């Protein structure tokens, strides 16, 4: 019993009262109460909510992704979404934990699909003949194998790298990229052209 009490003390489950010999049990606040405070912008309540439901969220994500590091990243994305969309939570439809786990599963599945799409796209590029003329944007990227694509992309400025990844790895049209990044269509096309020009230079240097 003494060992169990000591363990609970170390875990922070009970805290000694300075004027009384009996311990006080610290009870975590109901997540459904915390969310109402979060909806009012209470960051401390959000921290408590995180502590309360993060294990369930992480577990839901891990069951889909099977990758601890990626699961941690997606879990953080889930909580960013929870903070941003807290005002949309409807207690009449589900508990906070159920709502959070639902978002977590959706985020995890989206990540799986995105990773698979990128792998498929790189695989397609790697199978393209490397000796075809680079007359179009797709031909420029297709002339590189998968490793050279990634190396070349990493040498680009962030703004060019972003649009090229969206265009050639995720398969988005320029108009869609403009909408996703909230940029003028001409700006997106310019970044694509500039990025491809730089990739041509990188490709030439590696030959």
For the residues of 58-78, what is the DSSP string, one character each? HHHHHHHH--HHHHHHHHHHH
Of the two residues 10 and 57, the one the predictor is more confident about is: 57
CATH 1.10.10.10 occupies which residues in the chain? 132-206
Answer whether 74's CB lies under 8 Å from 20's CB: no
Give the whole-number percent of the chain exceeding pLDDT 70. 68
CATH number at 1-127: 1.10.1740.10
Sequence ranges of the chain with CATH classification 1.10.1740.10: 1-127
As a whole number of angstroms, the distance between CA 19 and CA 32 comes to: 32
More confident of the two residues 136 and 168: 168
Give per-residue pLDDT as tens, 151-163: 777 888 888 888 8
Angle at 132 between CA 126 and CA 135, to 5 degrees: 105
102-116: pLDDT as tens digits = 999 998 888 888 777
Q: Which residue has the higher pLDDT, 134 or 53?
A: 53
pLDDT at position 122 over 80: no
Q: Is it the case that residue 25 has pLDDT exceeding 50?
A: no
Is the pTM for the entire model greater than 0.85?
Answer: no
Dist. CA 123–CA 12, nearest whole Å: 50
- Candidates 3.40.640.10, 2.60.120.10, 3.30.10.20, 1.10.10.10; CATH matching 132-206: 1.10.10.10
Indicate the pLDDT class of residue 180, thresholds 50, 70 and 90: confident
pLDDT for position 65: 86
């Amino acid at each position: 019993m003494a060992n169990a009490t000591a363990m609970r003390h170390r875990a922070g489950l009970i805290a000694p009262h300075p004027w009384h010999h009996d311990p006080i049990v610290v009870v975590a606040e109901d997540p459904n109460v915390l969310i109402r405070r979060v909806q009012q912008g209470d960051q401390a309540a959000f921290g408590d909510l995180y502590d309360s439901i993060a294990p369930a969220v992480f577990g839901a994500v891990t069951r889909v992704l099977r990758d601890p590091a990626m699961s941690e990243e997606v879990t953080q994305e889930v909580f960013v979404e929870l903070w941003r969309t807290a005002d949309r939570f409807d207690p009449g439809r589900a508990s906070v934990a159920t709502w959070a786990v639902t978002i977590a599963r959706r985020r995890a599945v989206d990540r799986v699909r995105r990773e698979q799409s990128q792998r498929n796209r790189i695989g397609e590029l790697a199978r393209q003949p490397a000796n075809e003329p680079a007359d179009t944007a797709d031909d420029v990227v297709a002339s590189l194998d998968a490793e050279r694509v990634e190396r070349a992309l990493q040498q680009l400025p962030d703004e060019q790298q972003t649009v090229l990844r969206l265009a050639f790895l995720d398969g988005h049209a320029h108009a869609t990229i403009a909408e996703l990044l909230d940029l003028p269509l001409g700006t997106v096309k310019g970044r694509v052209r500039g990025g491809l020009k730089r990739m041509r230079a990188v490709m030439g240097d590696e030959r």
